[in-house]
Structure 1
Amino acid sequence: MKFPVEKLPNIEFKVDEPLSKYTFTKTGGNADVLAFPKTRVELVEIVNTAREDDIDITIIGNASNLIIKDGGIRGIVIILPNFKKIEVHGDKVTAEAGATIIDTTIAAQKASLTGIEFAAGIPGSVGGAVFMNAGAYGGEIKDVFDSAEVLLPNGNIVTLNHDDMEFSYRHSLVQNNDGIVISATFLLESGDKEKIQAEMDRLNELRRSKQPLEYPSCGSVFKRPTGHFTGPLIIKAGLQGHIIGGAQVSMKHAGFIVNINHATATDYMDLIHLIQRTINDKFDIKLQTEVRIIGEDTK
């Protein structure tokens, strides 16, 4: 059943919308319906309408660590670019789910708050970062997380604290309970504004020097296997630079797959599976994907 957009005439919807326009890989099939709620009321209305009609709901956030398959997504897809307010109160920064983590770190720096510098170059949204406990350069969201407002599938909005979220490596509770992060609050410490900026600049320069930011990609593709680093394993397996279709194992960082020539999501998936098979065959190591993979295969 298609989402009944006519029931909610005041909300912005796009029907049969190409999701490749929204993903960092520039790949992905169409959404049956893509929704752009502007307020919490509109978001709750969408969720309640979908629940009443038993329609699947998918949140895609900033789509930076995401692969949407070429068959697209059925049901209703929600994106939250209108949810981007960031506020500072004392030693806490509260950001709505659609705000970027980068903008959140900038707000913290301007308020002389330290602790979240590790995320200064993570391109995802706050909601997505909480959803997957995003991390970089030795820090993770769980290290600075205080609480989050989460919309549950039953339409209720609850506040979940740090212990409620059951954080682990690239995991949080909302991956299991189908909750939608509306906002998150981060608990930071007072610091020196110039030193905070210097650390952010250092990490961003490190990111620029080591990661293939010049190409579309989905970020780090694989979780780090215990006792190993993914990039060196892929290099040792002889797969750096390997191309399938328009997707390539990055020559700059083998843990990334980049879109060098109009790649499809299927190109990405085929390359991911090749890497997993090869690493398992050569080193008896099972690589698990860090990137979130959703949607349907083409028929």
Structure 2
Amino acid sequence: MKNIYQSTAFLDKRACEKYQLSPEILMENAACALETLIGTLTHKGSVITILCGSGDNGGDGYALARRLSGDYAVRIMQLKEPKSPLCQQAYERTMQCDVKFIKKILPCDVMVDCVVGSGLRGNLESSLSDVLKNAQKAARINIACDIPSGLNESNDGFVFKAHHTICMGAISLVCLSDKAKDFVGTLHIGKLGLSESHYQVSSNIKMLESCDLSLPQRIQENTHKGNFGHLAVFAGEKCGAAIMSAQSALSFGAGLVSIISDENITIPSEIIQEHTLPQKSTALALGMGLGVEKSAEILKDLCESSLSCVLDADVFHTPIIKTFLDES
């Protein structure tokens, strides 16, 4: 599982205080992570356009331009003058490399969005949106630094559409929202001079990965379906959700799967239908399309059950869920 954070600012501060790193070092490593990603996506000599804002996100862009200069055809479009101390410092260093500055968007191989980071509240300024709209159409590959500009919970306007987003140090929760799916592309984590285990701390928000899935190992030949567990899935108002869950359980290794329903419903032939919980059940799944009232009723009956449960959807809208979890 990966740790996910509402904000990673406190992790940067912790890295500086605990490991005696400076914000300047973190910025240099952010630029290094961007450079490495670009190296995997295109060849030396490619035209790279970097859009820079006035804050530390823009500073990452200037530092990247300095690192790429000489190996790539680098162009910088300055959307705002450097304002933060780190951005100003990175800008001054980059000016020594004779990087080309442009005033309008031109076609290129890679477009890098270093305009606005996670600190944005509300919508992007219209002047920035207009440039970014043209920019995302001008390149073969779009990369966002940290998060795509404009992506936040309160923005109902324009968001830069990236093919790749490189989160610095750890993944921000906003990059995993439903809205973000159309804008972040492939997510990467850029190291800031520390391994993930040193940079990150445990978070109460986690993201499951494929490596977290532990399928049953069927090493015995003389077996039958009853040797691999019996899952009971409760169906309610919208039985389709329960049927899909039951089919998924069969696909990843459950031996027997029953749907528990008060009514007779049409289900695939490989799934068993029951009106009450089978005595040989070894695990439960409930909540998917179950309905709030039905969920509360079933949870009340299961409070003393010792069976493993997968809980979803409607069960979390019932007050009894707290009692159920406390007693489980």
TM-score by length of 1: 0.23
Q: TM-score, normalised by structure 2?
A: 0.22
Q: Which has the higher contact order (CA 8 A, sep 6+)?
A: 1
Which structure dedicates a bigger proportion of its chain to strand?
A: 1
